[in-house]
Structure 1
C-alpha cells in the first residue's frame, strides 16, 4: 500500500534536532536506559535521529516514517520506544515545580503580563487524541467531545516552560479531579510553596488556586481581566507544544505509550524553551469550558476577595 511521505520545515527540524542532540548527550552521560543508543554504529545513529525527529515533529504513521527511512514497523517501534523512555527518564531534570528560576523571578514575570501578583504557575488540562484502546475500559477514554483521549494536566511559567505534568488519566476524567489527586495539590495544600496558581472556572477556588468570578461586579471585572490574560499563558503553552510536536495531535498507540510520548515531548519542549529557540506559529486554542464539579473553598473565596480589594479596586 502506497503511503505519502510526511515532511516538516527546516526551522522545525533544526529546533527539534538541536534539542534532541542536547538531551541525547545527557542520556549518554547518565548511562541509563539509553545504552541501546550507545551501541549503535554511527550510521544507524543518524537514521535513528531522523526517525525520531520525523515521528515527534510530524506525527506520521509508523509506516510513513519507516518508508522514509526504509525500515520495517517493528524496528521503528523499538527505536521510538527506547528513545521515548530515555527522554522521559529525564523528566525530573527538566520538569521542576515551581521552575528552574528563583520564586521571586517567576512571580515577577507573571506580574508583568497583567499586574496579577504572587502567581507561581498557570494550570489546565489538555486532551491528547489517541486511537480507541482495546479492553474493558475503552469507554473511560471517551471525553466530552466524544473522541478518545488522555487528559493531561500541566502547569507552566510565564515563559511557557512546563513546571509540572501529570499524564496518566483517561479523557473522561474531569480536570479538577486530576488536580485534586495530584502530588502538586498535596504540596500546595500543605503550604510548601508561597504563591498561587491560576485556573479556569472548572476548578474550585482554593487559597492556593484562584479562579475567575462567575458574575463579576466592576472591581471583580478588573480582577477577571487580569486573571484571564495571565492564565492564558498555559493555553499558549499547549499551542506551542502541539505546534512543535505534531504527533500530539493524534497518537496511534496505547494509552500508556501515549502518556510516555507526551512526557517525552514536554521534556524536549522545555529544552527548546531553555535554549530560547524560536517558537513555532501557534493556532488558536480550543476552550473546553469545563463546568466545576467541586465547590469553591471558603478560604479561597476570601483570598480572592482580598485580591480584588488590595490590587484591583
Structure 2
C-alpha cells in the first residue's frame, strides 16, 4: 500500500462513504496522497475485505444458529420457521465496452436505465447479512439469480431430506416454493387468514430492505 496502512483504510472508507472521485479524496488535507495512491489503497483494502468476508458472512448451517434465527424472526414478527429474508439491489458500475467478449455492456444495462451488477442479499432478523451473491449483471432478473444460486440448491436439498420448517421470505418477484415463501396473491382483508399471513410476511421481509437502505446510505459509492 502506497500510504500508511491506517491512512489507506481511512482513505477507502472516505471514498466509499462519500461517493466522490478518487482525486478529490487524495487532495483532502487529512490524507494528502495522490490519486494513483488512492487507487492502490482502494484495490488493496477492498481485496483484504473480500478475503475476510467468508469469516463474517455465513449462512446458518448448524441447528443452534438455525434455531436462533427462527426464534428471533418469530419473536419480532410472529412468523415461524424463517431463517432469513432475501432481495436484490442494483449496484451501479461504469459501462464495460459494448463489444467485450465476456462482459458486453448490454448485459449490465438494467430495467431502471443504468449499468449495474444485480446483487442478491439474504439477511437475518438482526439485520446481519448472511449471504451475498454478486455474480450477475444488471439485466438478470432477481428470480433468475435465485434459481441459479447455491443457497436455493442448499435449501432444496434440506427440504428433500425432511427439513420442512426452514424457509426464506421474499417479495412477489420470487417464485413460491416450500423453502421460499412470498405474499399470497391479491388483496385480502387483515382479518382473513390470507390477510394476516401477508401482513406478517411484509413486516418480516422489511429487514432486508432496511439493510439495503443502511448500506447505500453509509456507503454512497454503492
Distance 2:65 2:92 in 1: 35
1:97-118 CA deviation, whole Å, 9 max, x = no partner? 0289722111111112321110
TM-score by length of 2: 0.87
Report the structure, 1 or 2, having the larger helix content.
Answer: 1
2:154 maps to 187
1:148-170 CA deviation, whole Å, 9 max, x = no partner? 11100000000110000001211
8 Å Cα contact 2:127-2:208 kept in structure 1: yes
- 2:33 is the counterpart of 1:66: no
8 Å Cα contact 2:117-2:136 kept in structure 1: yes
1:198 maps to 169
Q: Which runs of 4+ in 1 moved over 6 A?
A: none
Distance 2:143 2:205 in 1: 16
Matched positions, count = 208
8 Å Cα contact 2:84-2:125 kept in structure 1: yes
| Secondary structure class of the residue paired with 1:102 | helix
Deviation of residue 216 (structure 1)? 4.8
Distance 2:66 2:6 in 1: 40
Distance 1:141 1:180 in 2: 19
Distance 1:49 1:203 in 2: 38
Aligned-residue Cα RMSD (Å) equals: 1.9
* Aligned residue runs from structure 1 range 47-66, under 5 A: 47-66=7-26
| Secondary structure class of the residue paired with 1:123 | strand
5+ unaligned residues in a row in structure 1: which ranges? 1-35, 249-313
1:270-302 CA deviation, whole Å, 9 max, x = no partner? xxxxxxxxxxxxxxxxxxxxxxxxxxxxxxxxx
- 2:132 is the counterpart of 1:165: yes
- 2:95 is the counterpart of 1:132: yes
TM-score by length of 1: 0.63
1:2-52 CA deviation, whole Å, 9 max, x = no partner? xxxxxxxxxxxxxxxxxxxxxxxxxxxxxxxxxx5xxx7xx8234213211
Distance 2:193 2:6 in 1: 59
| Secondary structure class of the residue paired with 1:202 | coil
Distance 2:61 2:110 in 1: 30
